[in-house]
Every structure is written in C-alpha cells, then in structure tokens.
Amino acid sequence: MTGMSVRPYWELRFDAHGDVNTRPRDRLLEQAAQQGLTDLVVFAHGWNNTRTMATRLNDRFFAPFPGLLGEAGRTRLGYVGVVWPAMRFADESLGGIPREEAPGAPPGPDADTPPGQPPGLDPDTHRALDAVFPGRQQIVARLAELLAERPERLAALDEFAVLLRGLVGVRGMSGGAGAAADPGAEADEDEDGVPAMFGEDVTEVCERFAAALAEARGKTGAEDPAVFDSGLGGLWDGAHELLRQGTYYVMKRRAGTVGREGLGPVLGALAALRPAPRLHLVGHGFGGRLVSFALTGPVEGAAVASVTLLQGAFSHHAFAERLPHAADRGGALRDVPRRVGGPVVCCHSRHDTALGLLYPVASRMSWGERVSWGERVSWDDGSLLPGDVRWGAIGYDGVQAVADCPRLELAEALDGPFPARGCVSVDVSEVVRHGVPPAGAHGDICHEELARLVLRAGRIGAG
C-alpha cells in the first residue's frame, strides 16, 4: 500500500463472521513467497470505527520498526495489518493519532459540555453503532434519545435495558437463556450464557457503572461511591457506560470469531509457504484476543515465533491451566503458549483505566458468583470495584495463575535477558500512561519501546 511508513505492507480485511477479503489475502500469500521474507509482523487493532482509522494506527505503530531493525543482516521483515469490524466510542483515546485527527475526539477544555457529564450520544458514536449493528438504526436512535433526554423515570431505564438487549442480540433473560449477536461466539473462561448486566435490575447495574465512572474521573470523594445525590442523572451516566459495555460484549466475542475462523486459517496458509516466514503476532485490546484465538483453531504447524499482547482486553486467567476460583477448569487460552515457538508477552499498565476499573466491574456484574455453571448469577456489595482478583484484565496486571511466568519491568525486558518460551508479563506503565477517562491510557500503544519489545520477543534482527 502507498503512503505507509513501512514496506512491504499488506492488509487483511475480515467481516464480523471471520470471512476474509480474498484478493488482499491472495496478494499477501503470493508476494510473501516471492520476496522470500524471513519474518512477518501481524498486528491486529482493538477499537476502530473505519478502515482508514485502522490503517493510520497500523502506520504509526509500525513506523519505528525500520529504524530499530537497521542493517539486520539476512532479516527481511514484512508487515501485515489485520482490519476487522470493531467499535470505538468517540470519547476513547486512539493511540498515536492526535486529537485533531481522530473523528469524534472529545472536546477541549473550552467546550460547552458540563464537566463530568457526557452528552447523549455524539454523532460519530451514533454513526458507528449504526454501522456495527446494521438494521437496528431505530433501536440506536431511541437509545440516543433516552441518553440525551435523561428522563427522571425508572421506567425509562427499564426501556433502555430492553432496547440494549435487542441491540446486542440477547434474547429473554429467564434461566440465563440468550445468544450473542455474532454466530459461533465462544464461551470465555468465566462466561456461560448471557451476562447478568443485561438482567432485570438495570437500576443497580447503572449505579455500579456510574460509581466506576466517577472513580475513573477522580471525582468520587464519598465513602460510598455508588451513592449519588443527583437523582437519576448519575444513573444515566451509568446507562451510557452500559451501552459501551454492551458493544464490548459483542466486540469481545467477535474478536474470538475473527481470530479462530479468519486469521487462523491465513496463518496456516502462510506457514505452508516455502520458505515460510517466521510469524510474530501482535494485538491491541480486543485485537490481542483476536490473535490469541487465531491459535486455538486448526493452525497446527503454523510457524508462530512470538506473540505480543498490548493492553489485552481479556481475563488475566486466560492462560491458566487451572482457574484459582474453579480448579476443575482452565483458562480459555491455556493451550496457546504451547503453540508458540517463542514467548507470549503480555504488556500491562496501571494507567489503563478501561481495563483496571471498568473491565473488572463489568466482568463481576456479568458473571458474578456462580454457584453452578449455567445458573443465574448474583454479586455481593463487597468487591465490585478493583480488589477482587478474579475479574482482572491481562492488560492491567499481567498474566495470573501461570507457574514460572516472569514479571519484568520495561527496562529489564528491553536490556536484560529475555525468556525464550512461555508467558512473560511486562509492566509498560512507564510509556503507556497518557489518556483521558474513561479509557485512560488503554490506547497509548504507539511507542518505540513497544516496537523494540516486539523485536526482542521475536528475536528479529538486532532486536
């Protein structure tokens, strides 16, 4: 592609079902074989609303690689961007793209929006929802109307919850029956049936999310952050977050589908090339989930030399052989490290508010304290905010419950001995630190240090 900072560069484009655009795929397979590449870095974005936005992120993430690689002897490195239909709310920072270039960027300090009170649904997010949920424009319009009007009626919150279930494709809630919007959606290590956050008690759910948002903004000084004195206003803040988490529910499952059904077979085809390049998978946010699930399907023999997860948006127990809270079960991705010739590197940052605060709240409210799998869920009042390690994200505190998993600071990972195999947690808080609530630094991934980390993990050239 022209205009990219790196060459050779290809894009693989997938739909929500994992079906690949065949012409770019075939071009990649043909040209990679012709050019005799020794290594191929495959990067999957997290939230993005358009192909153009995803391409710009790919460009900025890959930009440091040529300078770092330098004259690397016989190394011939190629680059692949994985583009898939994700969803970004306009108030979420997009790493590496300046505020003025990002569609729907949050307003500056001189804007008219009252501090701490988001508007209804901004136009860019509204359009993105229409695109991600085709045929449900009327539902999106009514959700936007409710968020803008913020009615002082609990019945309006009930209507919001019903509409949201219709938007994301959840059927009736009785007995936990339901379905994801994407076919073939997989169950996670802590996920069976429909998340309880789509359940009947929308008032309590919105209270929890409103409390988490207040904490994320650093404005909660009360002893009980879940108690507000603004009537239903705070609950509508929570409803806005419930809509965001509803889209995440769909994106999370979609990422698994695209990885397993889409990217996995392409990796197998690349591995069949002669000579076959060494493959290095990199994923940001839900893109980390995507590249991980690409290794759960029929890709035996694929020459995956390394995996680097940047702020991975899935459970920190995903790679565990045994779950600490359910010893008879393992993490959904427990077999992945054995399918990788080199290390599985999990970058995490304490500045990632999306994963450090909102993810555990959503997970706890979604899956709760199950007495038996498949039964209805409940949660207590003691640990919905961070502190219950069962509900953490791998991009916030790294790999958990995996034996012999080194935990490195960024400087150690860049300059010291680097593990040759298995899971590795790297604290990248030193560089992944910039962003605004509610997502915090989740999107702050375009750094030379992270590019160096990918090269070191894959033993690419001088990396």
Q: Given this model, what pLDDT does residue 199 score? A: 74
**CB neighbour burial string for 71-93, b if at least 16 within 10 angstroms, e if fewer:** ebeebbbbbbbbbbbbbbbbbbb
Please, which pLDDT band fits residue 50 given cuts at 50, 70 and 90? confident
Return all residues near 90 (Cβ < 8 A) that are at least 6 apart. 103, 104, 105, 106, 122, 124, 125, 128
DSSP state of 99: G
Please, which pLDDT band fits residue 201 given cuts at 50, 70 and 90? confident
Q: Given this model, what pLDDT does residue 169 score? A: 85
Q: Given this model, what pLDDT does residue 48 score? A: 76
pLDDT in tens, 284-299: 999 999 999 999 876 6
pLDDT in tens, 62-101: 999 999 998 666 899 999 999 999 988 888 866 655 544 5
Is the model more confident about 307 or about 113?
307
315 pLDDT exceeds 60? yes
418 pLDDT exceeds 50? yes
Q: Given this model, what pLDDT does residue 299 score? A: 62
367 pLDDT exceeds 90? no
Which of 30-44, 166-180, 253-267, 404-418 has the weakest average pLDDT? 166-180
Please, which pLDDT band fits residue 224 given cuts at 50, 70 and 90? very low
Q: Given this model, what pLDDT does residue 455 score? A: 97
Q: Given this model, what pLDDT does residue 96 score? A: 55
Q: Given this model, what pLDDT does residue 72 score? A: 63
233 pLDDT exceeds 90? no
374 pLDDT exceeds 70? no
Full DSSP string of 319-367: T-SSBTTBTT---TTTTGGGG-SSEEEEEE-TT-HIIIIIHHHHHHHHH
Q: Are 23 and 77 in contact (CB under 8 A)?
A: no
**CB neighbour burial string for 397-431, b if at least 16 within 10 angstroms, e if fewer:** bbbbbbeebbebebeebbeeebbeebbbbbbbeeb
Please, which pLDDT band fits residue 320 given cuts at 50, 70 and 90? very high
Structure tokens at 19: 């079906």
Which of 49-53, 260-264, 367-371 has the weakest average pLDDT? 367-371
Cis peptide before 298 (omega within 30 of 0): no
pLDDT in tens, 377-392: 343 444 444 445 677 8
Give the separation between CA 294 and CA 281, rounded to whole angstroms. 10
Q: Given this model, what pLDDT does residue 197 score? A: 83
Q: What percent of the chain has pLDDT over 90?
A: 57
192 pLDDT exceeds 70? no
Give me the chain's average pLDDT, please: 82
Q: Given this model, what pLDDT does residue 376 score? A: 34
Q: Given this model, what pLDDT does residue 73 score? A: 67
Q: Residue 453 belongs to what H/E stretch?
A: helix 448-458
Is the model more confident about 413 or about 118?
413
Q: Where are the alpha helices (DSSP H) in 63-182?
A: 65-69, 123-132, 137-149, 154-168
- Global pTM value: 0.86
Is the model more confident about 436 or about 374?
436
- Any idea which residue has 């949201």 for tokens? 164
42 pLDDT exceeds 80? yes
